[in-house]
Amino acid sequence: MTRSAARPPGPPRRPVLMVAHSYYEEDPRVRRQAEALVASGRDVDVLALRRPGDPPGGVVDGVNVRHLDVQRHQGAGLPTYLREYLSFLVRAALAAIGAQRRRRYALVQVHSLPDFLVFAALPLRLVGVPVLLDLHEAMPEFFRSRFQRAQRPMVNRLVLLQERLSIAAATEVLTVNEALRDRLVRLGVDADRVTVIINSPSLRRFNPEAHPRRAFMVDGTLKIVYAGALTPTYELDVLLDAVARLRANHPGLPVRVDLYGRGDSEPALRSQVARLGLEDSVVFHGRIPIEMVPAAIAAADLGVAPTRRDRFTDISLSTKIFEYAAMGKPVVCSRLPMVERTFPAGAVLVYPPGDPAALAETLRTVVEDPAAREVSVRRMLSATRELAWEVEAPRYVSVVERLARGR
């Protein structure tokens, strides 16, 4: 686990503290930001969740990571999530207070979800340390999408209230796309307090030249890859239905689906695979380290990002789309507002959310129309390079430096 990164020359600067309710090693956005600060010459400490078997702390690519003894309960009910969030908040606040005495931080960055985790940094804010709140998602929309109870008016009002109070407690706010920024401004947040840092992959990590390249269907099999969470947000059940239709309507087209990830939808998906007779076509690989994801994509013919449409996904954009495109693979995903807003027409190959027949037809088109496939790959690769982390990182570092220096 212990790896170090080279630091640029120059006088030492006060460190930055990050607080993230996630497993640091598995959180691409937190890792990209922490490593960008280390590369700029800042020490970075991270307080994160602790996976079973993880040591209490260590150094990952130059970032000092402390694992607090809290684990995720993915797929649990709302009360369990709230207990988990509160337990982590209290532990993170105590750890931050103790660390501040030794380290004298220049800035604290808090990553949501939950938004109210920002209050773990409140003791440091009270002694003059600026606090940057990074809103990865819209928590009210996420909760309504994920939890039945959160759809009740009283619960929804409480979630909206905690969002407003959390933003008020921060010095400034980051978020991941223009739709989320627009939503915050409509809620009354000063536009000057919100900066968009796109959740895009690093081209250094997602580099097709660094892995053996598979020619499209070189062995006659269509290899489909999905690398992400196996949760209800992603309509992998629709993908499985589409694959079953594709096999039934085109028996001469062998199809293999590689699913990389974990989540509470996995038991239902496994049952669906058995019910549809897809055991020889679908492989569940489980979660793999971030470092292994590019190779998994390189070994496939196309990447899929099937996403249900609701109020939450209307203002979100799957990072998987960028990752597949960066590796030079055709991308098939749900037709969602942020997909159409982000990528040029004809770049990404889309289907109506929830429609397995349309998804099957889109997959068939990828196979049978090589010209359209190649155009899509080129346009997506160009769009991804324009939005890549190498473009976003200097903008992110400049926000941190401005706040850390009190300007």
Please tell me whether the overall predicted TM-score, pTM, comes out greater than 0.75 for this model.
yes
Q: Which of 405, 364, 403, 345 is nearest to 170 (CA)?
A: 403
Cα 5–Cα 390–Cα 184 angle in degrees, nearest 5:
110
CA distance 368 to 233: 30
Q: Which domains does the chain have, with CATH numbers?
A: 16-199+389-404 (3.40.50.2000), 208-387 (3.40.50.2000)
Confidence of residue 4 (pLDDT cuts 50, 70, 90): very low
* Predicted confidence (pLDDT) per residue in 384-402, tens digit: 999 999 999 999 999 999 9
- Decide if pLDDT at 143 tops 90: no
Task: Give, in order, the Cα–Cα distances in Å from 195 to each of 60, 143, 189, 396, 401.
Answer: 27, 23, 12, 9, 14
Residue 371 has which token pair? Answer: 């010209």
Confidence of residue 99 (pLDDT cuts 50, 70, 90): very high
* Predicted confidence (pLDDT) per residue in 147-173, tens digit: 777 778 888 889 899 999 999 999 999
* Predicted confidence (pLDDT) per residue in 222-267, tens digit: 999 999 999 999 999 999 999 999 999 999 999 999 999 999 899 9
On average, the pLDDT of the chain sits at 93
CA distance 124 to 105: 9
- Decide if pLDDT at 371 tops 70: yes
What pLDDT score does 407 carry? 47
What pLDDT score does 153 carry? 86
CA distance 354 to 286: 24
CA distance 161 to 1: 39
